[in-house]
Structure 1
Amino acid sequence: MIKVNIEKELIGQNGKFLLKLDFEVKKGEFLTLFGKSGSGKTTILRMIAGLEIPDRGIIEVEGEIYFNSDKKINIPPQKRKVGFVFQNYALFPNMTVYENLAFAMDKPDKKRIDEILRIVELIDLKDRYPETLSGGQQQRVALARAIVRNPSILLLDEPLSALDFSIRQKLQDEIKRLHNIFNLTTLLVSHDKPEVFKLSDRVIWIDEGKIVKEGSPRKVFIEKNISGKFSFVGTILDIKKADIIYIATVEIGKDLVEIVLSGNENLKVGDQVLVSSKAFNPVIKKIQ
């Protein structure tokens, strides 16, 4: 169990605001922090990792106090059992793949490093340097380096935002697979709703430092349930007029589907939507 109850004054687009949160992450849970840029999501990860200091509060991870402002406890980052994957990977360019993983461990364990490199399918690249790898391969190295420490919590700061769609889809599957294989407790920062739906057990929506919604992805993003035999999250790629009707092309995973619109959905290209069935007819609803 991870407990976070912290306050910190931040500066956002509209000036100063108070980041004030109180939440828990259950062992083995995949929790996502969702919200617009500047709402304090990344700062939360950095405070759990010890890279930033809260103004006041408590951070407790599996019974160990990482931070307590009243008792003046602030465990240094290197003493915290945290794995952190940054947006820019933060790999050491002068170290090989193997050396990047070994550096993350207090005492390098060749057997464990090789085991994890095999699981993420990088064992044949262990003597390569980061600059010789693709973006997707570098991200897998960053994931492997975070996991090799056997962390109490894995922190992911929009780790796939710089990758193209197909690679991002593949690595989302990889993240979920690793989460399950190693029984990780994972805290993800993301602004990609399909990604949140695919990966998360629970979502906390943050706006200007406050929790505004919390629950399953469906509960948080879809205010009114839609009954039906199926439902998929997708993105509108195109809307065209055909005679007197409009047809939306929706990307769902690797597939494209066309759906006839009723005309009152108020949708546009780029909207993320839920496609479901109702009385054998497809229903399309914008995700809030």
Structure 2
Amino acid sequence: MIRFSLKKKLHGAQGDLLLELEFEMEEEEFIVVLGPSGSGKTTLLRMLAGLEKPEEGYIEVKGEVWYDSKRGINLPPQKRDVGFVFQDYALFPNMSLFENIAFGMKKKDLQRVMELLRLAGLEQLKDKKPSVLSGGQKQRVALLRALAREPKLLLLDEPLSALDPETAIILREEIKKFQRSFNIPTIMVSHNREDALSLASRVLLLSEGKIKSVGKPKDVLFSRRESPKFSLNGIVLEKEIAEYACILSVAVGSEVVQVVVPKDQEKEFKPGDRVLLSTKAFVPIVRKA
């Protein structure tokens, strides 16, 4: 069991925010944390890893107390058994793939490094430096390095955000395979609902520093009012006023779609607005996000 209850004051572009989180997870769960920018997702990972200190609370991982404000316990990052995969991979540019993976091992095991490389199909590149790798290959190496530590907790900070959609699909399957093979409890921060649907045993939805919802991916992601069949976040690029309607051009990820809304609603939308595109019974719906 992994348990934490944490409070921390955050200072963001929208003003001060109190991050206040309490949660428990089982040892083999894969938790995906969703929420808008500034809701405290990455700060949660950094507090668990010991990279940031909460104002108060506790962290307990498999019976070991990593942080307890009342008892004055605060283990430094190097004493917390964590594997952390950062957004920018954080690979050592002067080291080969093999050396990067072996670097964080508690006990050097060269055979184990080769097994991990083979598992990811990278054994032929073991002597290459990170600079010659693609984004997907760098992400695999960062994940293998974290797994090589055999951590008690694996933390992933938007590991797929910089990848193209096709590579992201492949990496999701590999992350799922690795996590199930090693049975490491995992907490992954993401903005992408596909990550939650593909990977999560449970989704933790954050909003304004609080846990808004927790549950199975479909229960959390499809619980919006009017029960939409799908929901996508987008940004209005431009709007065109037609005779009887308003046509919005909306960027959704790397795609641009056009959505027709009633003419009497056109004043609700302007370029730059964040909107939620959804559908119910195959009827498109667009709302301000």
Shorter-chain TM-score bucket reads: 0.7 to 0.9
> How do 1:265-284 residues align onto structure 2 when only pairs under 5 Å count?
none
Find the counterpart in structure 2 of residue 240 from structure 1. none
| Counterpart contact for 2:32–2:195, Cα < 8 Å | no
Q: Which amino acid aligns with 1:32?
A: V
> Match for residue 177 of structure 2?
177
- State the secondary structure of the residue aligned to 1:36: coil
Distance in 1 separating the partners of 2:56 and 2:10 = 13
3-state secondary structure, aligned to 1:20 = strand
Which position in structure 2 is the counterpart of 1:46? 46
Residue identity (%):
47
Higher deviation after alignment, 86-95 or 4-13: 4-13
TM-score, with normalisation over the residues of structure 2? Answer: 0.81
The answer on whether the counterparts of 2:261 and 2:286 sit within 8 Å (CA) in structure 1 is no
Query: Matches of 2:127 and 2:3 in 1, distance apart?
Result: 39
1:137-169, Cα deviation, whole Å (9 max, x unpaired): 000000000111111111000011111111111
* C-alpha distance after superposition, 1:158-184 (max 9, x if no partner): 011111111111111111111111112
**Residue of structure 2 in register with 1:13 after alignment:** 13
CA pair 51-195 structure 1, distance change in 2 beyond 3 A: same
Letter in 2 for 1:42: T
Q: Secondary structure at the match of 2:8?
A: strand
Map of 1:159 onto structure 2: 159
For structure 1, list consecutive stretches of 5 or more residues without a partner in the other structure: 237-260
Q: How far off its partner does 1:195 sit?
A: 2.0
C-alpha offsets along residues 96-123 of structure 1, whole Å, 9 cap, x if unaligned? 1111111111221112111111111111
The number of residues matched between the two structures is 277
Evaluate the alpha carbon distance shift between residue 187 and residue 226 of structure 1 in structure 2; reply closer, same or farther with a 3 A threshold: same
Aligned twin of 2:224: 223
Equivalence for 1:244: none
CA 1:212–1:91 in 2, change beyond 3 Å: closer, same or farther? Answer: same
Distance 1:51 1:35, change over 3 A: same
Partner of 2:32: 32
| 1:102 is the counterpart of 2:112 | no
Q: C-alpha distance in 1, partners of 2:284/2:111? A: 50
TM-score by length of 1: 0.81
Gaps of 5+ in 2: 235-259, 267-273
RMSD, aligned CA: 3.5
Give, in angstroms, the shift of residue 79 of structure 1: 1.5
CA deviations on 1:1-36 (whole Å, 9 max, x unpaired) are 111101111102221111111001211111111111
Partner of 2:187, secondary structure, is strand
